[in-house]
Amino acid sequence: MLLRYLKSYICNSVAELRFTTLSISLLVLFVLDLIIGSVYISLKDVWGTLIGSEVDTATRLIVFDIRLMKAIVAVVAGVALSVSGLQMQTLFRNPLAGPYVLGISSGASLGVAIFILGMPILGITNNGIISSIGTAGAAWIGSALILVFIASVSTRIKDIMVILILGMMFSSGVSAVVQILQYMSNEEALKSFVIWTMGSLGDVTYTQLKLLLPAVIIGLILSILVIKPLNLLLLGEQYARTMGLNVRKSRYLIFLSTTLLAGTVTAFCGPIGFVGLAIPHVSRMLFCNADHRVLLPASALCGAVILLLCDIISKCLTLPINTITALLGIPIVIWVVIRNKSIV
């Protein structure tokens, strides 16, 4: 009894220490993201800008309009993608499942492809406001259509793995349609779409942030509500049913949460790969715990920290954010495959 108490106390202390370390790392990287860039801005000037002191106009514009916005979006995107990936891996009981396995990202890509590549045909000019709003709206519509499709299929098919396979097949079909649209588009429209597919944290405006934040917050609230169902689903659907869990309702809530989290980030930031797939495994390795009361906040913190780090590296190397996340995420995916066993 005493040994069990000591073990529990040590585990809780270690978890608290790691949560504290991640929180401090998040704060440090957030500040570094405001300092580092093509134009170096000192910590004193950054602090002066944030508290409203007298600073150079150019410095104020760079900090407020570019770097602060980008850092906030990096935190929001990291949290959203990581939490959605954790939910998908638990729901499908598959360590290689991610937020895009249901075709949400592919649906968003199809919507964006139709809008961007179809702008010249519709006579829409590449205006900044129209382009950004249209791109986001098209991605939202594409993600919503996939959600409706998956929800309708899940009412008839009880096997969650069949839904996973259908999502992957649908993603392949959508990718083929997008390639056809790319082949038929002109050079300017094709360039705009390719840039979107690379992923970017710096194209989100304050107006878009007013839509991004509420959607992600609602998705996170739903993910908190399904913590207990996720813990029960770890032991299998049959066991969850015997414990009185409404599996179909829980599945709907998880689908909706994933769509709001991953779909919204994809709409405004483009497809950012490997974050939702790799970060849940990082949090499991750090905390050695399968309880979602620990894993969910751990994944959220790890996702925010990693995406801020990726943003800093991408600015230093002048590379797309998607390239950096892939380089960091691929070794983790290879490690999971080599281990050849489920971590969830």
Q: How many whole angstroms separate alpha carbon 210 and alpha carbon 135? A: 16
Overall average pLDDT of the 70-87 stretch:
93
- Cβ neighbourhood burial of 220 (10 Å; 0-12, 13-18, 19+): buried
* Closest C-alpha to 122, from 192, 176, 185, 182: 185
Overall average pLDDT of the 156-167 stretch:
71
**Per-residue model confidence (pLDDT) at position 82:** 94
Query: What is the CATH number that goes with domain 40-339?
Result: 1.10.3470.10
Q: How many degrees, rounded to 5, is the angle at CA 140 between CA 134 and CA 143?
A: 140
Q: pLDDT tens for residues 275-323?
A: 888 899 889 888 888 889 999 999 999 999 999 999 999 988 888 888 8
> Greater confidence, 89 or 80?
80
Confidence band for 193, pLDDT divided at 50, 70 and 90 = confident
- The domain locations on the chain are 40-339
Confidence band for 78, pLDDT divided at 50, 70 and 90 = very high
Q: How many degrees, rounded to 5, is the angle at CA 204 between CA 198 and CA 206?
A: 180
**Per-residue model confidence (pLDDT) at position 130:** 67
User: What's this model's pTM, rounded to 2 decimal places?
Assistant: 0.86
Overall average pLDDT of the 1-13 stretch:
55
Name the token pair of 188: 């300017």
